[in-house]
Chain A
């Protein structure tokens, strides 16, 4: 087939592109991933019994804001990386900002605490499982983000996979907060961040294979 014939083929019977429909479709997949993560958390781990009380604490909402900020900023990276030739702009800084703020908060809390209290602030009661459980809850979100991204055209696959992993880590951590009793900034600064980094590493590792088109 000559190139002119291909051009004829591609332009004949052209349909208009319905971008909003594509965005709705991709978003529906993400919502499905979020729902699956919530279901997984509720069934496998269970919602914490004193959630109604926790909802009244400002620390609870700080934790929600932290996870949401990381997840949304990473999703912005995902969106930009899914569109060829688009610069990331401030998006990576927006990912790092909530993490940096959480580290600052952790440092502030730790330096104001008595030495015997510091270990508890850092380790809580669930330090051994927290990061792994966040990674587990993130799994359906990870699948959904990769699926949505494959409907677009990422060209920097490793970076795109990394952003997809981080986005699923942030959203997964947000879902996990409904189970998790820990609210201390030092705990979040270490174990939540580590939990988000597990799917991020998976994304960086498998992105090139999962996102190729």
Chain B
């Protein structure tokens, strides 16, 4: 686990500096850990696991500036994933689905689960509900792979408006998931 933590942490730090390849590898490795972590805690709601994995990934991405490099990565990810898990359980107000106490302080992201089930929620559809100024930059930069400059040129938006649109759009996406879309 020690080497795993170091490995993931190294990838994230490069990702925070803007290295997209390292960041993608970080998210891919993290996904398997998140899935195992959440599946173990959602045994009575197995259909929700993949949705919550995606929600946690979105949280990790939107809040990546809150990772303090002097702290263990595992503690940061577990805190985010647990927050999203509790949020889900509260939304469903089904506290009885817990099969593990959530307050253990020493939880680790030890296990790996590479088996992705289908997510029930379609993020692509949710994306379509975002306002134009957020959706267009996300589609151009994030889905079509254009640069920020190219997107700005094509859409007539300023480069900072493109960046802000992406940033706010991904936050709005997370908020829409939360409000039960």
Q: Do A and B bind each other?
A: yes
Q: A residues bordering B, Cβ < 8 Å?
A: 1-17, 19, 22, 82-86, 152-153, 155, 213
- The dominant DSSP class at the B interface is helix
Set of chain B residues within 8 Å of A6, measured between Cβ atoms? 54, 57-58, 123
Interface check B133, CB cutoff 8 A: no
**Contact present for B57 and A14 (CB under 8 Å):** no
Contact digits for B68-79, partner A, Cβ 8 Å, 1 yes 0 no: 100110111111
Interface check B27, CB cutoff 8 A: yes
**Contact present for B122 and A3 (CB under 8 Å):** no
Chain A residue at minimum C-beta to C-beta distance from B127: A1
Which B64-92 residues have C-beta < 8 A from chain A?
64-68, 71-72, 74-80, 82-83
Set of chain A residues within 8 Å of B155, measured between Cβ atoms? none
Set of chain A residues within 8 Å of B168, measured between Cβ atoms? none
* Alpha-carbon gap, A184 to B134, bound state (A): 57
**Contact present for B124 and A84 (CB under 8 Å):** no
Q: Which of B1-9, B40-48, B93-101, B138-146 contacts A (4 or more CB under 8 A)?
A: B138-146
**Contact present for A15 and B119 (CB under 8 Å):** no
Q: How far is the CB of B67 from chain A (nearest CB, A)?
A: 8
**Contact present for B23 and A14 (CB under 8 Å):** yes
**Contact present for B16 and A16 (CB under 8 Å):** yes
Other 7 A-B pairs with CB < 8 A, given A10-B27, A14-B19, A83-B67: A3-B54, A6-B58, A11-B21, A13-B146, A14-B23, A15-B18, A85-B80
Chain A residue at minimum C-beta to C-beta distance from B170: A10
Interface check B152, CB cutoff 8 A: no
Chain A residue at minimum C-beta to C-beta distance from B80: A84
Set of chain B residues within 8 Å of A4, measured between Cβ atoms? 28, 116
Given contact pairs A1-B122, A1-B123, A14 touches B15 in the complex (Cβ within 8 A): yes
**Contact present for B20 and A11 (CB under 8 Å):** yes
**Contact present for B142 and A12 (CB under 8 Å):** yes
* Alpha-carbon gap, A84 to B77, bound state (A): 8
* Alpha-carbon gap, A85 to B75, bound state (A): 5
Set of chain A residues within 8 Å of B80, measured between Cβ atoms? 84-85, 153, 155
Given contact pairs A3-B50, A153-B66, A10 touches B78 in the complex (Cβ within 8 A): no
* Alpha-carbon gap, A5 to B127, bound state (A): 13
Contact digits for B142-175, partner A, Cβ 8 Å, 1 yes 0 no: 1101111000000000000001001000100011
Instruction: List 5 A-B pairs, minimum CB-CB distance, nearest first.
Output: A16-B18, A85-B75, A84-B79, A85-B79, A11-B24
Set of chain A residues within 8 Å of B135, measured between Cβ atoms? none
**Can you list 8 contacts pairing A with B, beta carbon distance less than 8 Å?**
A2-B119, A3-B57, A7-B31, A11-B21, A83-B68, A84-B79, A86-B71, A153-B66
**Contact present for A14 and B71 (CB under 8 Å):** no
Set of chain B residues within 8 Å of A83, measured between Cβ atoms? 66-68, 71, 76
Chain A residue at minimum C-beta to C-beta distance from B67: A83
Q: How far is the CB of A156 from chain B (nearest CB, A)?
A: 9
* Alpha-carbon gap, A15 to B72, bound state (A): 23
* Alpha-carbon gap, A212 to B154, bound state (A): 36
Among A4, A7, A8, A10: residue with most chain B CB under 10 A: A10
